[in-house]
Amino acid sequence: MATINTNAGAMVALQNLNATNRDIEQVQSRINTGLAVASAKDNGGVYAIAQKMRADVKGYEAVGNSLDLAASTVDVALAAGEAVSDLLIEMKEKALAASDASLDSASRTALNEDFKALRDQIGKIVSNASFNGTNLINNSVTSISALANASGSSTISIVDENLSLGGGVVTLSATASFASASAASTIAGTIATSINNLNASLARLGTASKSLGIHKDFVGKLSDSLEKGIGNLVDADLAKESARLQSLQVKQQLGVQALSIANSAPSTILGYFR
């Protein structure tokens, strides 16, 4: 039936052209963003999963920062502990030399002055072994903790090692000195005990530092795996989208021509009245 009121062909052509235009917009969006799922309206389920995984990735970034902070604090404490160990070895040498009964008093006094200088240096090292305001070897904190997972429900704790003079590890008094061979001999024995205690403390700190490093590597690999998983879910295949864009552009041009033909159909009715 020939009519000028209803052009069914034009309606169909316009619907198809609009669908093609929407497809082109979608492909262009994927090419521009590199994402097949850029928002919830693209694919609500996949978008929700990807967002949860993105939250986990950000959480692991915080975990990595926490582990770095704890590792640096432990490494500073470890470096200070090793310096204290070297000083104790020197102090033991001075005390043993002074324990020689045949040594004259002037020589023993000189050794004692060197001994006291080394002793005071230990106090300075321990009091200044801080990182970001945290000192793990002067008994100012009980322990420090680092995040272990993205939810914050698990932590890694490192216990304080009190290396202060007169403490539980370095049992040598902060005022220790010797004026006689017997006093020097007693101090040498105390230093030997302190060195053994300190070696155990350094072993614990070293193990803590290593465990933090291992967990940091694990967190990095886990975060990389999550990012790869997100990419598998939402990233667009640009080669495929490029080919599809060219196909849709041809389809768009054909749609425009089809619509033009359909719109010109009513004008043929004029032929009936010539």
Vertex 250: Cα angle to 34 and 26 (nearest 5): 30
What is the Cα–Cα distance from 42 to 46, expressed in whole angstroms?
A: 9
What is the Cα–Cα distance from 165 to 174, expressed in whole angstroms?
A: 5
Half-sphere exposure of residue 151: CA atoms within 13 angstroms, side-chain side? 3
- Could you report the per-residue pLDDT of 95-131, keeping only the tens digit for each? 999 999 999 999 999 999 999 999 999 999 999 999 9
What is the Cα–Cα distance from 161 to 70, expressed in whole angstroms?
A: 14
- Could you report the per-residue pLDDT of 33-55, keeping only the tens digit for each? 888 888 888 889 999 999 999 99
Distances (CA, A) of 217 to 203, 213, 214: 21, 6, 5
- Could you report the per-residue pLDDT of 170-228, keeping only the tens digit for each? 999 999 999 999 999 999 999 999 999 999 999 999 999 999 999 999 999 999 999 99
Of 92-101, 131-140, 229-238, give the lowest mean pLDDT range.
229-238
What is the Cα–Cα distance from 225 to 213, expressed in whole angstroms?
A: 19
